[in-house]
Structure 1
Amino acid sequence: MRLKNIFDFTVKNSKGEDLDLAQYRGHPVLVLNTASKCRFTPQLEGLQLLHETYPTLIILGFPCNQFGIQ
C-alpha cells in the first residue's frame, strides 16, 4: 500500500471549488488550522507578515468547526 502525502489530495477552496494540492509539489507549504471568529484572529497578522516575508511560501488554512465555529 502506498502512503499518501498532502499532494495526493484535492480539497475545496473558500469558493467551494476543487483545489488540487499537487500543484504545490516542490514548493514550501505551511498547512494550518485556522480560526476566523474567535479572539485568536490577531494571529492572522503574523501569517500575513510571514507571507510578505516569504512570498513563495504557500499557506493553506483549513477551518475547523469542532470548537463552536471558533
Structure 2
Amino acid sequence: MAVPEESSASSSKADKARLVREERTIHLIPLLTFLCFLLLFLCSHDPSDADMSSFGGGVGGKSGNRRLRML
C-alpha cells in the first residue's frame, strides 16, 4: 500500500510545481505590457519639416497631404 501513497505524493508535488510556475508567469503580463509601451514610445517621434519635405510638404509644411503633416 506504500506505492499508491508515493504516487499520490509525487503527483501532488508535480501539481504544486505546476501551480507555482503558473503563478510566476502571471507576473510577465505587466512586464510585457510595459515593454510594448516603451517600444512604441521610443519608435514614435514628430517628423521635422525636413522629413516632411520628402513627401511634398515643403519646408513650411503648408502644402501636401494633411494626414502626412499630422504625423
TM-score, normalized by the shorter chain, greater than 0.5: no
The higher radius of gyration belongs to 2
Q: TM-score, normalised to structure 2's length?
A: 0.24
Q: TM-score, normalised to structure 1's length?
A: 0.24
